[in-house]
Amino acid sequence: MSETIAEKLQKKYHKCEEVTNFKEMLDRSATIYKTRTAFKLKDKNGNIYNKTYEELKKDVEELGTSLIEKGLLNKRIAVIGKNSYKWAVSYLSATIVGVVVPIDKELHSDDVINFMNVSKTECILGDSKNLKQIKDNIDKLENKNVIFINFDEEFLDEKFLSFESELENGKKLLEKGNKKFSEIKIDSDELKILLFTSGTTGNAKGVCLSQRNICSNILSTYGIVKVKRSDLFFSVLPLHHTYECTLGFLLPLYSGASICYCDGLRYITNNMLEYHPSVILCVPLLLEKMYQKIIKSMEKSLPEKYTKNLKESENIVDKLPFYLKGIVKSKVKNTLGGRLRVFIVGAAAVNPEIADMFDKLGLNSLQGYGLTECSPLVAGNTDFFKRNDSAGLPIPKVEYKIDNPNDEGVGEIIVKGPNVMLGYYNMPEETEKVLKDGWFHTGDLGKIDENGFLYITGRCKSVIVTKNGKNIYPEELESYLNDNPLISESLVLGVQKENDDETYVNAQIFPNIEAITEYLKGTVPTKEEIKKIISDIISSVNSKIPNYKHIKDFVIRDKEFEKTTTQKIKRYGNNIKKDKN
């Protein structure tokens, strides 16, 4: 029997040095990469300066020493705020000294306070905006003595301690011979990271991770995607999420690469031209927006013979002659800073056509599949084997299989490996539901081909089951709808009509008004025109799928869907709505 690609991959992994906890990793990196740049940062005047690995370790030790002196050894320490060097230092110090609780800065203060109460947080470090919201509602905090450490020096008051002064305090303690931080012995298998997932259903759970969980994921990822010491990671996605935290923060620090931070989504293009990054972690939405800008630019600058009358599955790059292709590739790369070599894409599936086009432009896009409960990566496309229509192959030391597959091979994806969480915080029943015989039941549906490549088909909870037992995966229909440039976003739901136990497929559509206006040759569309255009698109989608999957009705939205921080549309309830009509 011939080897599968997944088996061949086992022999090709990049070799890496073992680490099992963050203290060990920080010491190793500060020794090996001592004077190399760990972070490229901006001062208040917008000037770029560097922080070395040696300086990073010193700052983490100083803050950690100060936290210990405040009685926070082995306590819960929350971190909240925009992506920043101070966030990074706080995270590392907190998880070495105690248990770090990274919190989404976009959450309502009631949710933040709830997470602090549940986790028994005793200190929170963060941006003044977030800390002020918590302080203004301090009566809701069970622990009124929570220590607030503010990243913003200009917004200090009697309740807020200064981040800078805590570093200074730690520095003085170290100079006097305080060795409490360096003497910490970390149990690599105990709870050290407590993450509250927002989840697409809106039901938050506390995910308990050990440092070994995350270190195993760092090493596995390094084994399949080479990170160069010359690489500069451009951090765009929120750091509180494991995807960005593990792969866009801790992975480059293990590898001797550098990190820079985006000033905000509206500044992405400017920042890329300032920093010249080589690696970006992103979600498909960001990749699609870049793709649309590139296509628009090509259509404006290239002769019509290359941009019009494209065949199915053909893109503009395919039609370009060799000499022009080189010019276009160079121009596109220059608009992205000149050094970009790879997009690492997660959180949802990428349109394969978009990934193909970036490949043809010399920009590698590697998509994978992961969950917070898996630290997060489970599968990924690699330096060795890649398929743009797949989530990739199992990462080193991780196994996956399909539980109870149907006739098409589709079933629940279950995972085993050193990256799998310890369990849900104080929720033994919920933990037992998903951790069975060493396998984590993801709640995601997928299938695996003969070579081990994983294909995600949907979520167990979002499956629409018809009266005759047929399963409809909303994500499949949403993919068809979202492929049309006249639709910005869609959400497919199962609807039950009153006095009828049949389930019908309904779509909520957020139209792309700008694209529709262009489609109508500059005329702003009326509501009736929008409805007619969307109706025609749905008829076209229905013509490509079996009758039982047909979208029977649709609603046009006038605003975007509410999303999680990784830009997934939130799916509330069990995806079955009652309709009185």
Q: Quick one: average pLDDT of 535-552?
A: 89
The mean pLDDT of 393-398, rounded to a whole number, is: 95
pLDDT tens string 467-508 = 656 778 788 888 889 989 999 999 998 887 766 667 889 999
- Among the candidates 185, 204, 231, a domain finishes at 185
10 Å CB burial of residue 159 (0-12, 13-18, 19+) is: middle
Asked if residue 396 has pLDDT above 80, the reply is yes
Q: Is residue 431 part of a domain?
A: no
Task: Give the chain's domain count.
Answer: 2
- With bands split at pLDDT 50, 70 and 90, how would you rate the model's confidence at 438? very high
The string over 249-278, giving b where at least 16 C-beta atoms fall within 10 Å of a residue's C-beta and e elsewhere, is bbbbbbbbbbbbbbeeeeebeebbebbbbb
Residue in the structure block whose two tokens are 């294909």: 455
- Backbone conformation region of residue 350, classed left if phi is above 0, alpha if psi is from -120 to 50, else beta: beta
Q: How far apart are CA 28 and CA 131, in angstroms?
A: 34
Rounded to 10 degrees, the C-alpha dihedral 131/137/141/145 comes to 60
Q: What's the mean pLDDT in 228-243?
A: 95
- Burial tier of 149 (Cβ tally within 10 Å: 0-12, 13-18, 19+): buried
Virtual CA dihedral for 82, 88, 94, 95, nearest 10 degrees?
120
The answer to whether 189 and 419 have CB atoms below 8 angstroms apart is: no
Q: Is residue 218 part of a domain?
A: no
| Averaged pLDDT for residues 145-155 | 90
Domain at 485, CATH number: 3.30.300.30
Range of the domain at 569: 463-579
Closest C-alpha to 327, from 353, 307, 301: 301
Is residue 215 within 8 Å of 252, Cβ to Cβ? no
Sheet holding 487-497, edge to edge: 551-556, 503-511, 487-497, 576-579
- pLDDT of 37 reads 98
User: What is the per-residue pLDDT for 501?
Assistant: 60
Across 514-557, the runs of DSSP E, i.e. the strands, are: 551-556
Cα 150 versus chain centre, distance: 26
Question: Stretch 271-290: mean pLDDT, rounded?
Answer: 92
Asked if 431 and 402 count as a contact pair (C-beta separation under 8 A), the reply is: no
pLDDT band per the 50, 70, 90 thresholds, residue 12: confident
Q: Distances from the Cα of 178 to the Cαs of 58, 69, 415, in angstroms?
A: 14, 10, 44
Mean pLDDT of 198-217: 80
Residue 354 in domain:
no
Q: Which of 185, 202, 218 is the last residue of a domain?
A: 185
Reading the block at residue 360, the tokens are 């043809």
The residue with tokens 């494209």 is 310
- Nearest Cα to Cα of residue 292 among 476, 480, 536, 483: 483
Q: Residue 347: is its pLDDT beyond 90?
A: no
Band the pLDDT of 579: cuts 50, 70, 90. Answer: very low
Q: Establish how many alpha carbons lie within 13 A of residue 486's alpha carbon, considering only the half-sphere containing its beta carbon.
A: 17
Range with lowest mean pLDDT among 114-128, 444-458, 459-473, 552-566: 459-473
Look at residue 499 in the predicted model and tell me its pLDDT.
64
Taking 70 as the threshold, does the pLDDT of residue 512 lie above it?
yes
User: What was the pLDDT predicted at 180?
Assistant: 97
**161-175 pLDDT tens trace:** 999 999 999 999 999
What is the mean pLDDT of the segment spanning 391-398?
A: 95
Residue 576 above 50 pLDDT?
A: no
CATH number at residue 36: 3.40.50.12780
Per-residue pLDDT at 580 exceeds 50: no
Residue 76 covered by a domain? yes
pLDDT over 50 (residue 31): yes
Q: Which residues contact 222 (CB under 8 A, 6 or more apart)?
A: 14, 16, 251, 254, 255
d(CA 208, CA 12): 32
How confident is the prediction for the chain on average, in pLDDT? 90
Residue 581: the pLDDT is 41
**How far, in Å, CA of 299 to CA of 307, rounded?**
6
Query: 277 pLDDT exceeds 50?
Result: yes
pLDDT band at 565 (very low <50, low <70, confident <90, very high): low
Burial class (CB in 10 A: 0-12, 13-18, 19+), 531: middle
Q: Which of 185, 217, 236 is the last residue of a domain?
A: 185
458 falls within a domain: no
263 lies in some domain = no
Q: Which two tokens stand for residue 439?
A: 């396998």
Question: Per the domain annotation, does 122 fall within a domain?
Answer: yes
CB 207 within 8 A of CB 194: yes
Q: Do 553 and 504 touch, CB atoms closer than 8 A?
A: yes
Average pLDDT over residues 523-544: 92
Mean pLDDT along residues 159-188 = 96
Q: What percent of the chain has pLDDT over 70?
A: 94
* Pair of tokens at residue 258: 């550098």
Tokens of 338: 């000149």
pLDDT at 577: 43
CA contacts within 13 A on the Cβ side of 425: 24
Give the tens place of pLDDT for each residue, 35-76. 999 999 999 999 999 999 999 999 999 999 999 999 999 999
Residue 393 phi/psi, 5-degree rounding, is -110, 160
CA-derived radius of gyration, the chain: 25
In a domain? residue 516:
yes
